[in-house]
Amino acid sequence: MSVNLQKQEHLLHRISSRIRQSLELQEILSTAVHEIRTLLHIDRAKIYRFKPDGSGEVIAESIRGKRLPSLLGLHFPADDIPPQARQLFLKARQRVIIDVAAQRKISSKLDHIDTREPLTVKDIRYTTADPCHVEYLLGMGVLSSLILPILHQNQLWGLFAIHHSQPRQFSERELQIVQLLVDQVSIAIAQSNLLNQVQQQAQYELIVNRISSLLHSPLAINEIRQSVLEETIKALGGSSGRLYLFSESVNAHAQLYTAGDSFTSDMLEESDRWKHLMDSYDNPTSLFPTHAEVVTAWEHAGRSLLPTDLPDHPGTPNTRGIPEPKLLDFTEDTDWPDWLGADPNGPIRTALIVPLQYHHQCVGWLTVFRNGYDSEILWAGRQNFDERNQLPRRSFEAWREIKTNQSQPWRQDEVNLAQAIGIHLYMATMQKRVETMLRHEALHDRLTDLPNRLLFDEQLSLALLNTQQQGEILAVAFLDLDRFKTVNDTLGHALGDLLLKQVTQRLQKCLRKGDVVARWGGDEFTLLFPKINHIEEVGKIARRILEVLSAPFFLEGQELYASASLGVTLFPYDGKDAASLLKNADTAMYRAKQQGRNNYQLYSPEMNTKAREQLELETDLRKALIRKELLLYYQPQVDIKTGEIVSLEALLRWQHPQLGLVPPSQFIPLAEETGLICPIGEWVIRTACEQHQAWLAEGLAPVRIAVNLSARQFQQQDLVKSIVHILQETHLTPSYLEIEITESVAMQDVEFTVKVLQQLRDMGVQIAMDDFGTGYSSLNSIKHFPLHTLKIDQSFVRDLLTDPSDMAIAKAVIALGQGLNLKILAEGIETAEQLEFLRSLGCAFAQGYFFSKPLPAEAIAQVLKHAQYAYADRANQAVASRLPHPTSEEAIASSTQTLKQEISQLMQRTQALEDIIRHQEQQIAKHEQIELFLRQQLQPQESAPFQAGT
C-alpha cells in the first residue's frame, strides 16, 4: 500500500473516531473540512448549510493561506443554486466537478433519480460548464470546484464544497474518500440532532416537572398560578403572558394573572373579538359545570392527558380531545394590537394561545407573547435583484443587512412544550375544582345547595359559643313540610324536588342577616336565628315563614299549596348544647303536627314527656301482634225500617297490659306513621273472616262484616291477592266481606282505586265509601267507583237537627246515593230524632250508639243469637217519638194497633228466615263459580279448594 493511500485511510479512521467521540456538531464539521483540505492539499474546503427559506450560510471552513478569501459566516441567497440543481443534489446525490480553465463540468449521479436507489453502474456525464457559473467561481478566485450534497432525513441539509485557486484533477480514490467523509458528516448530523432532541426533551421534562411541582405545592393558589405563568414565559422565551381562568360558579369572578408587559384591556378574554377567535374550537360547555361534569372530565383527563404524542403541526385536530394552540402574528394582522390594548408600534409581535380544555370542558386560556427582535445578516456581496438574475455576482465582499422588530417564529417543539404545560395547568385546575366541589358537596345539600346537617352542626356550635360569650339569646327551629310524601307519591319526585327548591328560595327570603337555613334531610329544614332580642321576635319570624309558604307554588304550570310545621327552641332556656337544642326543636315540631299542622310551637319540657310516651307506645305496638294484645270489636249496622242487623263493622282495639284499653285515636295514627298498619290491617281482615266462620259454626246466621282499609294498606300492590288468600284460608264467601275505604284514600289515585275496587267487586266483595263528604272527590270520579254503599260521616249527623249546613249535606249525599243506586248508611246515630229525620230523607241504614256501642265478639254473638231483630223496637221508637201520647179513649185502638204490629213483625221474621234459607241455597249454587274465579285470581299459584260458609 502506498504512503499516500495509508494517509487517506488514516484520515478516514481519524475522522470516524472524532465523530464517535465528539458531541459537538460544529467541532466535527470544522475537523472534517480541515482534514480534507490538508489531505487533498487544496486552498479551501467549506460546508454550506441551507436555511428554511432556501438561502444558505457557510458554517464551517478551512483555507490555506490567503489565496482565496474566507466565506465563513456569509449568507448566500436562495437563487444562487437553481431549483433544478437542488433536485439533482437531493434525488440523485449528484456530485459536480467544475474545471473553470477548461470550462468543463463533470456530473456524477450516485442514485437513480426516480427510485433513489444506488446505481450499480456510474452515471457520469461531461458537459460544458454554464458561463454564469464559471463567472461566479471566477468572482471568488476559484479555478477548480468539487460539490457534494449532504443529506439528512431525505432532505438537502447542505453542500460540501472544495475550492482550489489552480486547475486540479480529482482521482477516483480521492472522490471516494470525500464521499465517505460526507457520509460520516451525515451520520454526525443525525447523531447531533438526536442528541439535541434528547437534551431538549430532558430540558422540557425538567420544565414540566418544575411546573407540576409548583402546581401541587402548599403555597397559596394565587401565588402558585402566578409563579407557573412566570416560569412558562421564561421557558418559552416569551416577554409577557396571561393566565385567564373561568369563574367556578355564577357568583364568582373570573381570575386573571399577568406577567411582563401589561395591556390596557384587562379582560380581553371576555371581548367579542376573543370569543370569535376561539370559535374555531368546539364550543365549550357551560362555564359553570355540574359536579358530575367536573369529576367526569377530571377522571377522563387523568387517563388521557399526557404530554406525549402531540401533533407535529399546530392546528391539526387531536383525537384525544385536546385542542391545538393558536398562533397569532401581529405583523400580519394589524387589527390585533387595537383590541389587545397594545401599542401597534410596541415590541409585541406574536402570541401563542393555549386553550386549557379537554373535549368540551374548558377552564381558561394560557397566552404567551413574544417581542420582536433585530436581525443582522452578512450577505456575500451586495444584493441587487435587478442584475443578479442576469449576471453573476462579481464581488463577494460582506454586506450587512439589518432588520428590526422581526417576528420570532414558534418552533413546533416550543408549541408542544406550551401544550404540555397547558395540560398540567388544566389538570391542576380541574383537580382544584373537584376538591372544592367535593368539599362543598360534603357540607352542602346537592339539590338545594343549602348547608347540610354536618355544616349546620358546625355553624350552630360556633353560634352557641359566640352567643354564650355575648350573653345573648339564640333560637333554633326545626321545619317539616306537611304531607310532602303525598306530593312525591302523586306528582312524582321530579316535581317534589322542584317544590323543595322553591321552598328553599322562600325560606332564604325570610332570613335576617346572620341567620342560617339548612336542609336536614328529606322535607326537613333547620334554621338558626342568632341575636334574638325577645321571644316575640321568634314568633314574628315563625309566622312570617308560615305566611310565605302558604302562598301557592307553581310547578311546571301546576298550582300547588303547601304548608309546614315548625318547632322552636331557645338558648339558653331549652338546651345548653347543639344536640339538645335540635332534639327539643324536633319535639316541638312534632307537637305542631299533632296540633293540626301549619303552625309553630315553642318548646316546653312537657313535650319531652309526651314524646317519650309516644316512643314507648310505638315500642309496645310493635310487640302487640306477637303478644296477641289486639282485639276486634263489632258495631251493628241496622236497617232503619225493620231494625234488622244487616252487617257488622269490625273496629280495632288494643288491650295494653299496663295501660288497659288504648283508644284507636292514639295508636292508629302511630301505626300509619310507622308502617305497622299494613300487617295490622291484614290481621284485622283475617281475624274478622275467621270470626265470621266461627259464628257460623255456632249456628248463627251469616252476616256481612265491614273492615276498614288504611291509605297505606290500600296502596299495596298485592292487596287483592292477599284478600283472596285470606278468603281461601278461612273459606268465607266473598259477599260477606265488605271493604271500607275513605273518600280521601280513594282520591289519591283514582285510576288505581277503580282498578282495585273493580277486582274486589268482581270477586263478590262488597265495597263501601266511608266518611263520605269529608274529602275532595268530584262527582265525575264518584260515578266511576264500583261502590255498593255510601256512608255519611258522623260529623254531619251530630248536629243534623240544628245545623242547616249539615242538614243540606246529608240531604245531598242521600240524593246522590239514590241517584247512583247505592245504599246509604249514616254513622254516629245517637238519638231517635236523628234516626227519624234520616228515615224521612230516605236513608236506609244506620249505625251508632243509639243502637249499640262496639261490642267484643262474645257479646255481639249473644245479640245475633237471641235477637236478629233486637233493634226493631229502637226503629219503632223513632217513629213513636213523633206520635202524640195516646188518651184513655184510644187505649183499645192502640192495643189493637200494637197487636197488628207484633203480628206483622212475626210475619216479617218468618219471611226473613225464608229469605235467609233461599239466600244460602243460592250461595251454594254459586260455589263452583266462585271457586273457579278465585283459582284464576291466584294462578299460577296453587291454592286450596274454596268452600263457602254454611
Read out DSSP for 81-132? S-HHHHHHHHHS--EEEEETTTTEEEEEEEE-TTT-PEEEEEEEEEEEPPHH
Q: What is the model's pLDDT at position 269?
A: 82
C-alpha cell at 113: 433519480
The pLDDT tens digits for 621-644 are: 888 888 888 999 999 999 998 888
The DSSP string of 472-516 is: -EEEEEEEEETTHHHHHHHH-HHHHHHHHHHHHHHHHHTPPTT-E
Contact indicator for 771, 801 with CB cutoff of 8 Å: no
The pLDDT tens digits for 338-348 are: 555 555 556 78
Lowest mean per-residue pLDDT among 267-271, 397-401, 804-808: 397-401
The pLDDT tens digits for 388-402 are: 444 445 556 666 777
Bridge partners of 836, per DSSP, are none
Contact indicator for 592, 610 with CB cutoff of 8 Å: no
- The radius of gyration computed from the CA coordinates of the chain, to the nearest angstrom, equals 52
304 pLDDT higher than 70: no
**Rounded to whole angstroms, how far apart are CA atoms 786 and 784?**
6
**Rounded to whole angstroms, how far apart are CA atoms 316 and 313?**
6
Instruction: Name the band, by pLDDT with cuts 50, 70 and 90, for residue 946.
Output: very low
Q: Which residues of 852-883 are buried (b: 16+ CB within 10 A; e: fewer)?
A: bebbebeebbebbeeebbbbbebbbebeeeee
Exposed (0-12), middle (13-18) or buried (19+): which is 193, by Cβ within 10 Å? Answer: middle
Q: Which residues of 905-926 are buried (b: 16+ CB within 10 A; e: fewer)?
A: beebeeeeeeeeeeebeebeee
Higher pLDDT, 782 or 608: 782
For the chain, first and last CA: distance in Å?
137
Strands 255-260 and 240-245: antiparallel
894 pLDDT higher than 90: no
C-alpha cell at 841: 230523607
- Kindly give the interhelix angle for 172-215 and 221-235, rounded to the nearest 10 degrees: 170
Note the pTM of the prediction, 2 decimals: 0.54
Q: What is the model's pLDDT at position 324?
A: 87
**Rounded to whole angstroms, how far apart are CA atoms 692 and 670?**
28
530 pLDDT higher than 90: yes
Exposed (0-12), middle (13-18) or buried (19+): which is 127, by Cβ within 10 Å? Answer: exposed
SS3 call for 914: helix
Strands 737-742 and 766-772: parallel
C-alpha cell at 511: 332570613
Exposed (0-12), middle (13-18) or buried (19+): which is 210, by Cβ within 10 Å? Answer: middle
Contact indicator for 638, 703 with CB cutoff of 8 Å: no
Lowest mean per-residue pLDDT among 122-136, 454-468, 470-484: 122-136
Instruction: Name the band, by pLDDT with cuts 50, 70 and 90, for residue 914.
Output: low
The pLDDT tens digits for 235-264 are: 999 989 999 998 877 667 888 999 987 555
- Torsion over CA: 855, 858, 864, 866 (sign): negative
The pLDDT tens digits for 205-220 are: 999 999 999 998 999 9
310 pLDDT higher than 50: no
Helices in 2-58 by DSSP H: which ranges?
Answer: 3-21, 25-40
The DSSP string of 217-234 is: SSS-HHHHHHHHHHHHHH
Contact indicator for 142, 134 with CB cutoff of 8 Å: no
Query: Percent of the chain having pLDDT more than 90?
Result: 39
Looking at residue 264, what DSSP letter applies? S
Higher pLDDT, 650 or 908: 650
Q: What is the model's pLDDT at position 5?
A: 67
From the CB of residue 607, how many other CB atoms can be counted at a distance below 10 Å?
21
The pLDDT tens digits for 741-775 are: 988 888 878 888 899 999 999 999 999 998 776 65
Average pLDDT in the chain:
82
The DSSP string of 715-728 is: T-TTHHHHHHHHHH
From the CB of residue 291, how many other CB atoms can be counted at a distance below 10 Å?
14
Contact indicator for 143, 165 with CB cutoff of 8 Å: yes
Contact indicator for 766, 795 with CB cutoff of 8 Å: no
SS3 call for 375: strand
Instruction: Measure CA 757 to chain center.
Output: 41
The pLDDT tens digits for 349-366 are: 888 999 998 877 888 999
Helices in 801-880 by DSSP H: which ranges?
Answer: 804-819, 832-841, 857-866, 872-880
Higher pLDDT, 910 or 540: 540
In the block, cell 312570617 appears at 544
SS3 call for 334: coil
Q: Which of 545, 540, 537, 535 is nearest to 566 (CA)?
A: 545
Instruction: Name the band, by pLDDT with cuts 50, 70 and 90, for residue 307.
Output: very low
C-alpha cell at 735: 259477599
SS3 call for 920: helix
Strands 645-656 and 704-708: parallel
Mean pLDDT score, 478-504: 91
947 pLDDT higher than 50: no
Helices in 551-663 by DSSP H: which ranges?
Answer: 578-594, 605-627
Instruction: Please work out, in degrees rounded to the nearest 5, the angle formed at the alpha carbon of residue 208 by the alpha carbons of 203 and 211.
Output: 125
Q: Which of 130, 47, 116 is nearest to 85 (CA)?
A: 130
Q: What is the model's pLDDT at position 306?
A: 43
Looking at residue 266, what DSSP letter applies? T
**Rounded to whole angstroms, how far apart are CA atoms 337 and 342?**
5
The DSSP string of 230-252 is: HHHHHHTT-SEEEEEE--SSTTS
In the block, cell 438537502 appears at 156
The percent of the chain in helix, strand and coil, each rounded to the nearest 5, is 50, 20, 30
The pLDDT tens digits for 558-616 are: 888 999 999 999 998 888 899 999 999 999 998 898 888 899 999 888 776 666 777 77
Please, what's the largest Cα pairwise distance for the chain?
A: 179
From the CB of residue 630, how many other CB atoms can be counted at a distance below 10 Å?
17
**Rounded to whole angstroms, how far apart are CA atoms 751 and 748?**
9
Q: Which of 305, 277, 325 is nearest to 425 (CA)?
A: 305
Mean pLDDT score, 692-718: 90
Contact indicator for 577, 613 with CB cutoff of 8 Å: no
The DSSP string of 668-717 is: HHHHHHHTTHHHHHHHHHHHHHHHHHHHHHTTPPP-EEEEE--HHHHT-T
SS3 call for 826: strand
SS3 call for 631: strand
869 pLDDT higher than 90: no
Instruction: Name the band, by pLDDT with cuts 50, 70 and 90, for residue 160.
Output: very high
Q: Which of 825, 753, 811 is nearest to 782 (CA)?
A: 753
